[in-house]
Structure formats: structure tokens, C-alpha cells
């Protein structure tokens, strides 16, 4: 009898649907103020007025931080302190973006992909427009969405009859960094890597359901690097609902915009 009960219990475990995680389990990493250490929480002391300061524990005190920002507290302090107001607000906005729906999706076809070494051609950079079309016919593509990376600044067209430089190679991130130039060669996209060129650095990759459907999403946080890159935080949310689908931008998600830091 005991064997029968154990067998039935095991069978129930196997056939029950996998329980999805609550959004409170989504805990992204942040850069700690001053040190840049990779942390999941930090404390920061900021001026509320000319003579008053308060300490906020992020992300626990995100609601309190937002209330003080609405009251105008973010304008007080030194230039560094005002930037820290923006940095803490960015972190809270990002966490709210990841947690805006009550539970994670049931289907996950994104978390097994190595985004830190992603092929750039795998990343949809504008809605309904891949890199190949963007290079061949830019007017056919919608403009870049605010707050998202724009790879068109690295793109160049190369006539198909022109001899290809030997240094052209596969376009991809390497350990979270892309620096170089993207060419449409007539035989697909290829890149000329240049450590002094502008590019992007992937700060983190987080997984959440950012638009409330059944498919898990990946969210890449990036910053521009190199000469001329504005020090702004950018995000690239990606999704797919099967292993064979290409990555796409999640529909109906409210992308946050971040300030400079």
C-alpha cells in the first residue's frame, strides 16, 4: 500500500504544471554607488533639501525615493548627488519594468541563449526590421525606439564588386562587448572589429515576463562605449515562443526611459 501511495504522489508531481515564479523572485543586479560593485541591493544617502538628507535602501525604498522625486528633492545637492538621484531612480524604474506583471511566463526559450556572445544578426533592433533590411533600405524601417540601442551608427554599405578587407569577420558581441563597424557585403553582414571604435557594453541580462504573455523575455541592459557615446542606460528586451523562432521585440510592453548617469 505504501508503495502505491508513493507512486501516486510521484505521478501527481510529474503531471502537475510547473509553478511559475512570483515577480518578487526577480532580483536583478545593480552597480553600487561609488564602488561600482555588482550588488542586488545598496544604500545611498541623498539630499532632500539644502539642510536635510535621507538614506534610501534600494530596491526596498523605491516607493519612498519616487515620492521624494515627485516632491522635487532630486534637484538638491552637488552635481554628483543629482546624478546619484538619477542612478537610483533608473534602478527602481528597471526593477518595476521587470516586475510589472504578477508572474513569470510558462514557456522559456530565451534563457539558454548566450547573449553576452550574441550574433548581432540574431538581435532585432527595430520592430519588424532586421539588420540586413536596415542596411539595404533604411527608409523601409521604422525609427529606433527611444531608450533602446541603435546599431545603425556603426553601419556602412560596401558595394558587392568591391574587394572585401581580410579583417572582416562574424558580427557578434564578445564577453558582453561590441566595438567596430558593420558592413553589408552582398554576402551577408560582416564586421570590422576595432577596439577604439564606438560600440556597446552589455551590463546585464535579466529574465522576466515584461508584457504579460505566456513567453519568457530576456532584457539586455547596455551602455554606449567609445568616443562620442553618451553615458546613458539603454535596454533591449527580446522574446521568442519557440526554439526555432527568431528573437523579436515583445509587443505591448511599456519600455522605460532612463536618464544619464
Integer Cα distance of 10 and 24 in angstroms = 29
pLDDT score recorded for residue 16: 36
The mean per-residue pLDDT over the stretch 224-242 comes to 82
pLDDT, mean over the chain: 80
For residue 161, pLDDT beyond 90 = no
Q: What does the block give as the cell for 240? A: 521568442
For residue 181, pLDDT beyond 90 = no
**At 57, is the pLDDT very low, low, confident or very high (cuts 50, 70, 90)?**
very high
The mean per-residue pLDDT over the stretch 50-78 comes to 94
Q: Which of 32-41, 133-142, 162-171 has the highest mean pLDDT?
A: 32-41
**At 212, is the pLDDT very low, low, confident or very high (cuts 50, 70, 90)?**
confident
**At 92, is the pLDDT very low, low, confident or very high (cuts 50, 70, 90)?**
very high
Which residue has cell 528586451? 237
Least confident of 39-53, 61-75, 181-195, 200-214: 181-195
Integer Cα distance of 115 and 243 in angstroms = 15
Least confident of 9-13, 20-24, 84-88, 208-212: 9-13
Q: Residue 6 in contact with residue 20, Cβ under 8 Å? A: no
Domain ranges of the chain: 23-98, 115-239
pLDDT score recorded for residue 237: 92
For residue 239, pLDDT beyond 90 = yes
The answer to whether the peptide bond before residue 21 is cis (omega within 30 degrees of 0) is no
Q: Residue 226 in contact with residue 179, Cβ under 8 Å? A: yes
For residue 199, pLDDT beyond 80 = yes
For residue 105, pLDDT beyond 70 = yes
Q: What does the block give as the cell for 24? A: 518578487
Q: Residue 196 in contact with residue 228, Cβ under 8 Å? A: no
More confident of the two residues 244 and 102: 244
pLDDT score recorded for residue 163: 52
pLDDT score recorded for residue 83: 92
pLDDT score recorded for residue 84: 94
Cα dihedral 142, 148, 151, 154 in deg (nearest 10): 120
**At 170, is the pLDDT very low, low, confident or very high (cuts 50, 70, 90)?**
confident
pTM higher than 0.85: no
For residue 47, pLDDT beyond 60 = yes
31 by DSSP, 3-state: which?
strand
Q: What percent of the chain has pLDDT over 70?
A: 76
Q: What does each C-alpha distance from 150 to 18, 55, 260 come to in angstroms?
A: 37, 36, 16
For residue 208, pLDDT beyond 60 = yes
More confident of the two residues 22 and 60: 60
Integer Cα distance of 101 and 103 in angstroms = 6
Amino acid at each position: 500500500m505504501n508503495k502505491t501511495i508513493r507512486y501516486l504522489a510521484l505521478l501527481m508531481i510529474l503531471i502537475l504544471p510547473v509553478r511559475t515564479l512570483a515577480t518578487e523572485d526577480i532580483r536583478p543586479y545593480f552597480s553600487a554607488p561609488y564602488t561600482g560593485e555588482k550588488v542586488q541591493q545598496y544604500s545611498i544617502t541623498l539630499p532632500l533639501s539644502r539642510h536635510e538628507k535621507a538614506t534610501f535602501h534600494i530596491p526596498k525604498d523605491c516607493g519612498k525615493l519616487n515620492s521624494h522625486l515627485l516632491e522635487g528633492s532630486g534637484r538638491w545637492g552637488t552635481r554628483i548627488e543629482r546624478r546619484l538621484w538619477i542612478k537610483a531612480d533608473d534602478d527602481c524604474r528597471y526593477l518595476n519594468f521587470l516586475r510589472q506583471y504578477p508572474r513569470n511566463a510558462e514557456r522559456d526559450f530565451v534563457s539558454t541563449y548566450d547573449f553576452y556572445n550574441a550574433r548581432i544578426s540574431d538581435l532585432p533592433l527595430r520592430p519588424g526590421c532586421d539588420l540586413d533590411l536596415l542596411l539595404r533600405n533604411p527608409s523601409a524601417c521604422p525609427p529606433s525606439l527611444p531608450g533602446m540601442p541603435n546599431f545603425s551608427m556603426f553601419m556602412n554599405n560596401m558595394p558587392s564588386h568591391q574587394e572585401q578587407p581580410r579583417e572582416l569577420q562574424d558580427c557578434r558581441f564578445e564577453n558582453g562587448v561590441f566595438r567596430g563597424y558593420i558592413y553589408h557585403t552582398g554576402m551577408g553582414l560582416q564586421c570590422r572589429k576595432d577596439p577604439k571604435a564606438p560600440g556597446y557594453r552589455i551590463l546585464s541580462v535579466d529574465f522576466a515576463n515584461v508584457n504579460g504573455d505566456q513567453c519568457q523575455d530576456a532584457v539586455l541592459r547596455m551602455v554606449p562605449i567609445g568616443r562620442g557615446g553618451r553615458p546613458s542606460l539603454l535596454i533591449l528586451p527580446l522574446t521568442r515562443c519557440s526554439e526555432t523562432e527568431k528573437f523579436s521585440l515583445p509587443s505591448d510592453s511599456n519600455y522605460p526611459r532612463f536618464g544619464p548617469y
